[in-house]
A and B are shown apart, each in its own frame.
Chain A
Amino acid sequence: MERWLPPALLLAGLALWEVAARAGWISALFFPPPSAITLTLLRMLGSVDFWAGLGSTLMRLTAGVLIGGGAGLLLGWLMGVSRPLRVALAPLVAALHPLPKLALFPIVLVILGIGESSKVALVALTAFFPMLLNTLAGVQQIDPTHWEVAANYGATGGKLLRRVVLPGSLPMTLTGLRLAVNGALVVTIAIEMLSARQGLGATIWLAWQTLRTEDLYATLVVIGGLGLASNQLLESATRLLLPWKGKP
C-alpha cells in the first residue's frame, strides 16, 4: 500500500496542475500544464542538440568527480593515517570547505582560461571536499582495536592501506561520493548557466532568455532524473562493495 502512495500523490498533483493550468487558475506562462512539459520533453529526447548538451554536462560532471573526488580520496587516506599531515591541513580544509565555490569561478577562469578546464576545475573543487572529509572521517572511525590488530600482525604501507584503511573507511567514502556527485551536479548546472554554450545549465538559461518555460521544466525533469539515476547507481555500488554491511 505504502509503495503506491508516493506515485499516486504525484499523479494527483500533476492532474491538479494540468486542470489548473488549462482552466487558467494559474499562469500557463510560468506553470505550463504537465502535458505540454511532457511533449516538450519528448521532443527534446528526440533532438540531437539535447543529447549533445546532456553529454557535455555528464562529461563535466564525470571529469570533475573523478579528479576532485580522487584527490579528496587520496588526501583523506593520507590525512587519516598521518597525524602530522592531519594537524597541518585540518585548519586549512576547515577554512576552505565552506567557501562558495561559484564565487571562485572568475578567479579559476583567470587561472585556467575559459575552456572546459576551468568548468571541470570548479566541479572538481566541489567534489573534493565532501570526498576528503568523509574519507578522513571514515579512516578515523576505524575501531582502534583494528589498528592494534593491524600493527600486531605486522601490517604496514600498501598492505595496511589496501586491507585495513581502504575497506575500513569505504562506507564513509561512499557516503562522501554520493555527496560529491550531488554537489558536483548542482555546480555543473550552475556553471553552465553562467558560461557554457552547451549543457543542461545552458539550456535552462536559454529557456529563461526565451521564456519558454516548458523547456525549463523539461530540463529540470532531466536533471532530477540524473540525480535519481546517480543515486540509484551509487546505492547499487554500495550494496556490491559492502557485502559485509548487514550489521557492523
Chain B
Amino acid sequence: MHLSVFHITKAFISPRGTISALADVTFTAFQGEFVALVGPSGCGKSTLLRLVAGLLAPDSGQIDFTGWPQPPKRRLVFQDHALFPWMTVADNVAFGLEMDGIDRTDRRQRAIAQLESMGLAGFADHYPHELSGGMKQRAAIARAFVTQPDILLMDEPLRALDAQTRLVIQEELLSLWERRRPLVLYVTHDIEEALLLADRVLVMSGRPGQVRAEVTPPLGRPRDLTGRAHPEIEESKWQIWKLLEEDVRRQIQPQRVTS
C-alpha cells in the first residue's frame, strides 16, 4: 500500500496575479511510514497536504493511493487546533466518528477512551476555550487518531506551542502512531522535529515548491525522545540546513513579488 504523487502542479489566482504554489512535485510514501516535509514558508507544504486530503484538486499531475480502500480515509490535523468552539472536547473528538455514522453511545465511548489514553478524560465535557493551548492541540490530534485514518496529514500541528509542550506532545504522537502505524505526512519547518519524528524527511525548495532532496535520519524504532540530546542527527540537520539556507536567506531579503 503506498501513496504516489506524480508531477503535481498547483497555482492560485489572486488579485495580484497567479501564484505558483507547487511545481512538479513527485514522491512516494508507504503504509506504515512517517514522512516529514520541511521547507521554507510559502513552499506549498500545506497546499500539498490539502491536495492529498482531497480538499483541493491539482492543476496537473496525479495522486494515486495503491492498495487502500478507495478512497482511503485521510484526516488532517491543523496548525491551530481548529476544534469547534461550540462542542465539548468529547464531542469534538467524536466529530469524525459522528460523520462516519457511528451511533452516539459508541462514539462517545471511543472518544472518551481516546482521551483517557492521553490523560485528557477529565476535560471531556469542557469547552475548548477552557483548555490550554497544548491540551487543545492534543484534543485535535485525538480527533484525528480516533477515526483510525489510513493516512494522517499533519500541518505543523505543534507550531504554536512552547518548546517543553512540544517535546511532550512529540513523544505522545509517536506512541499513538506506533499503535496502528498509519502513513503520516507531517509538515513542519523545524528541522530537528522532522528528523526526530520521521522515517524520511522530504526537503522542499521555496516557491514554487518542489521536492529537492530526501534525508533519512539515522534513528531506529521505537524512539525515545525524553529530554535526551541526539548527536547522531547533527549531520542530517546540517545537510538539510545547507539545502534550505539559500531559500531562507532569499526570503528574508527585501524583494519584489513577481506575478
Chain A residues near B (Cβ < 8 Å): 143, 145-146, 148-149, 151-155, 159, 163-164, 167-168, 170, 242-244, 246-248
- Bound complex: CA of A145 vs CA of B129, how far in Å? 17
- The number of residue pairs between A and B whose CB atoms lie closer than 8 Å in the complex comes to 59
CB-based contact B86/A244 at 8 Å = yes
Are B129 and A149 in touch, CB under 8 angstroms?
Answer: no
Interface presence of B84 (CB below 8 A): yes
B63 to chain A, nearest CB (A): 15
Please measure, in the bound complex, the distance between the C-alpha atom of A246 and the C-alpha atom of B129, giving whole angstroms: 7
Interface contact A152-B84, CB-CB below 8 Å: no
B86–A154 CB distance below 8 A:
no
Q: Which residues of B contact A170 (CB under 8 A)?
A: 86
CB of B155, distance to nearest CB on chain A (Å): 10
Q: Across the interface, do A244 and B128 meet the contact criterion of CB distance under 8 Å?
A: yes
- Find chain A residues with CB under 8 A from B78 CB: 145, 148-149
Determine the residue in chain A with the shortest Cβ distance to B83: A149
Structural contact, B86 and A167, CB atoms closer than 8 A: yes
Q: Which 8 A-B pairs have the closest CB atoms?
A: A167-B86, A244-B127, A247-B129, A154-B99, A145-B82, A153-B96, A153-B99, A152-B76
The interface residues of chain B lying within 8 Å CB-to-CB of A243 are: 127
A154, B101: Cα distance in complex, Å = 10
B51-93 residues with Cβ-Cβ distance < 8 A to A are 53, 55, 74-76, 78, 80, 82, 84-87
Interface pair B99/A149, CB less than 8 Å apart: no
A residues in contact with B74, CB < 8 Å: 152
Contact B84 A164 (CB under 8 A): yes
Size class of B's contact patch?
Answer: 20 to 34
Q: A152-B75, A243-B127 are in contact. Are A146 and B98 (CB under 8 A)?
A: no
Residues of A within 8 A of B87 (CB): 163, 167, 244
B82 touches A244 (CB 8 A): no
Most chain A C-beta atoms within 10 Å of own C-beta, residue among B50, B75, B95, B130: B95
Docked complex: B87-139 residues within 8 A CB-CB of A: 87, 95-96, 98-100, 127-130
CB contacts under 8 Å to A, within B209-250, are none
Query: In the complex, A136 Cα to B80 Cα: how many Å?
Result: 25
Q: List 25 A-B contacts (CB under 8 A).
A: A145-B78, A145-B80, A146-B82, A146-B84, A148-B78, A148-B82, A149-B76, A149-B78, A149-B82, A149-B95, A152-B55, A153-B95, A153-B99, A154-B100, A155-B99, A163-B87, A163-B98, A168-B84, A170-B86, A243-B127, A244-B127, A244-B129, A246-B127, A247-B129, A248-B129
Cβ of A159 and Cβ of B99 under 8 Å apart? Answer: yes
Q: Are A151 and B55 in contact (CB under 8 A)?
A: yes
- Residues on A with C-beta less than 8 A from B55 are 148, 151-152
Q: What separation, in Å, do the CA atoms of A35 and B55 have in the docked complex?
A: 69
- Closest B residue by C-beta to A164: B84
Complex Cα distance A154/B71, Å? Answer: 12
CB contact between B130 and one of A145, A164, A246 (< 8 Å): that residue:
A246
Of chain B, the residue at the smallest CB distance from A152 is: B76
Cα–Cα distance between A89 and B258 once the two chains are bound (Å): 37
Instruction: State how many angstroms separate the Cβ of A240 from the closest Cβ of chain B.
Output: 13
Q: Which of A155, A163, A164, A246: most chain B Cβ within 10 A?
A: A163
B129 touches A167 (CB 8 A): no
Taking a contact as CB atoms under 8 Å apart, the answer to whether B147 and A168 are in contact is: no
Report chain B residues within 8 Å CB of A143. Answer: 82
Contacts of A168 in B (CB 8 A): 84, 86
